[in-house]
């Protein structure tokens, strides 16, 4: 059984999000609520430790009040994953590796972030939005109450687990974090405490809010000023010389939001996966307006080709053929086509980049929510199509059929 611990200060949000989804769970569980509407607790660590005193489940789940579990078997799957993969440290839904690579798949307000994966992935630290651990014996504590405020208590707990030889991981389970915004007040003080405590044992600590100690050194503050702006300008000019009209203007999510602003219906295609389609309202977490954006996880199959715009996500674009037959098919089937591709993947496929430069007028380089440089290639309706030798006319046929035929031609066996 899982014991759920939540500190709340907004009864309406708690009822609509967390409790509404918990009531739909199909296994027994224990709910432990810590009412902080009167600011009885001044730190998350103290409040959560207090709430966990009455936990009786095999596992203890610490979660924010504005989180909703998106499937009725979420708790069941979490318990099964923790047991089958022998997770001895902390588990969550979003985290970073030592190198800064982000792992996770979740809905943040109006946007869907990350990509689906099948098994728990090892990380260094986890985001505090959701943390899961095996129940500790009486007298032991989950969080260090020396961590001030409401940030980084999970980072500190993950560091302690690593020092004890345990493994922290991200679970392949989907949640909706309906956050009203990001409040970073007190983050620097909490990070500073964590760094002072663990710096001798862990040289670099990578978190979902930055790296330690780089974020708080004098050099980093200088670089964030004039020197940092100069470096970004030089970098942007270098990328523009490579063929991008805009480089690092803003994040990829905001760029997608801007480039699809005129579309009421958008289809976003991901790699083949068992995940069912997910509908969201925007590409950016906190948009100015919401629309109908459907994320599909079956490659080029079962797509609504009548949508105003089709987006090929980076996880799918990296797996498609370098011959770009699929580009012809998608361009003729959709009113507007946007292709996302990680810069690292694009550099390894120069023939694809050369073809994009010949055929697409709009080429933007931006970073994702996780900081990964990604190219956004836009093919407008009516743009001249590049003719290929031996190309057939498939204007009147289904694109998915020709994509399958193209794969058969490439693999005659």
Tens digits of per-residue pLDDT, 151-161? Answer: 999 999 999 99
Q: Are residues 208 and 291 in the same domain?
A: no
Is 204 inside a domain boundary? Answer: yes
Residue with tokens 């976003």: 268
Is 223 inside a domain boundary? Answer: no
Is 222 inside a domain boundary? Answer: no
Is 221 inside a domain boundary? Answer: no
CATH number at residue 212: 3.90.550.10
List of residues 6+ apart from 66 with CB closer than 8 A: 13, 17, 18, 177, 178, 179, 180
Is 102 inside a domain boundary? Answer: yes
Q: Which domain holds residue 258?
A: 229-410
Q: What pLDDT digit, counting tens, does each position of 307-354 carry?
A: 899 999 998 998 887 777 788 777 777 778 999 999 988 888 888 888
Q: What is the reported pLDDT for 82?
A: 96
**Domain stop point among 186, 216, 246:** 216
Is 118 inside a domain boundary? Answer: yes
Q: Are residues 191 and 271 in the same domain?
A: no
Q: What is the reported pLDDT for 205?
A: 95
Note the pTM of the prediction, 2 decimals: 0.83
Residue with tokens 């997608």: 256
Is 328 inside a domain boundary? Answer: yes
Q: What is the reported pLDDT for 228?
A: 60
Residue with tokens 């296994």: 27
**Domain stop point among 216, 248, 275:** 216
How far from chain centre, in Å, is Cα 219? 29
Q: What pLDDT digit, counting tens, does each position of 264-318 carry?
A: 999 999 988 768 899 999 999 999 889 999 999 988 888 887 889 999 999 899 8
pLDDT higher at 159 or 231: 159
CATH number at residue 372: 3.40.50
Q: Are residues 202 and 233 in the same domain?
A: no
Number of domains in the chain: 2
Phi, psi of 360 (to 5 degrees): -115, 130
Separation CA 372–CA 261 (nearest Å): 23
Is 157 inside a domain boundary? Answer: yes
């Amino acid at each position: 059984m899982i014991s759920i611990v939540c500190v709340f200060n907004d009864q309406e949000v708690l009822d609509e999000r967390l409790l509404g989804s918990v009531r739909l769970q199909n296994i027994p569980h224990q709910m432990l609520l810590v009412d902080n509407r009167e600011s009885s607790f001044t730190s998350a660590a103290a409040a959560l430790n207090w709430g966990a005193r009455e936990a009786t489940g095999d596992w203890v789940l610490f979660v924010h009040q504005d989180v909703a579990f998106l499937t009725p078997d979420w708790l069941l799957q979490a318990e099964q994953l923790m047991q089958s993969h022998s997770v001895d440290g902390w588990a969550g839904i979003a985290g970073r590796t030592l190198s800064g690579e982000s792992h996770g798949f979740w809905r943040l307000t109006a946007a869907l972030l990350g990509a689906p994966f099948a098994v728990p992935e090892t990380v260094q630290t986890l985001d505090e939005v959701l943390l899961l651990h095996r129940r500790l014996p009486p007298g032991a504590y989950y969080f260090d109450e020396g961590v001030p405020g409401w940030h980084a208590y999970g980072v500190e707990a993950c560091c302690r687990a690593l020092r004890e030889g345990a493994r922290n991981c991200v679970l392949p389970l989907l949640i909706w974090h309906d956050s009203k915004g990001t409040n970073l007040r007190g983050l620097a003080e909490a990070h500073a405490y964590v760094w002072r405590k663990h710096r001798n044992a862990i040289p670099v600590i990578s978190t979902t809010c930055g790296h330690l100690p780089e974020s708080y050194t004098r050099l980093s503050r200088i670089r964030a000023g004039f020197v940092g702006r100069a470096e970004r300008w030089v970098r942007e000019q270098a990328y523009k010389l490579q063929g991008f009209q805009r480089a690092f203007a803003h994040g990829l999510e905001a760029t997608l939001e801007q480039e699809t602003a005129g579309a009421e219906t958008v289809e976003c295609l991901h790699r083949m996966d068992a995940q069912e389609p997910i509908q969201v309202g925007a590409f950016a977490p906190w948009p100015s307006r919401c629309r109908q954006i459907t994320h599909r996880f079956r490659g080029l199959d079962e797509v609504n080709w009548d949508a105003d715009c089709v987006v090929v996500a980076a996880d799918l674009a990296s797996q498609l053929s370098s011959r770009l037959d699929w580009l012809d098919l998608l361009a003729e089937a959709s009113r507007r086509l946007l292709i996302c591709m990680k810069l690292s993947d694009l550099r390894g496929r120069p023939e694809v980049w050369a073809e994009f430069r010949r055929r697409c007028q709009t080429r933007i380089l931006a970073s994702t929510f996780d900081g990964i440089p990604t190219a956004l290639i836009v093919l407008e309706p009516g743009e001249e199509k590049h003719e290929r030798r031996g190309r057939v006319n498939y204007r009147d046929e289904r694109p998915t059929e020709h994509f399958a035929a193209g794969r058969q031609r490439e693999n005659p066996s």
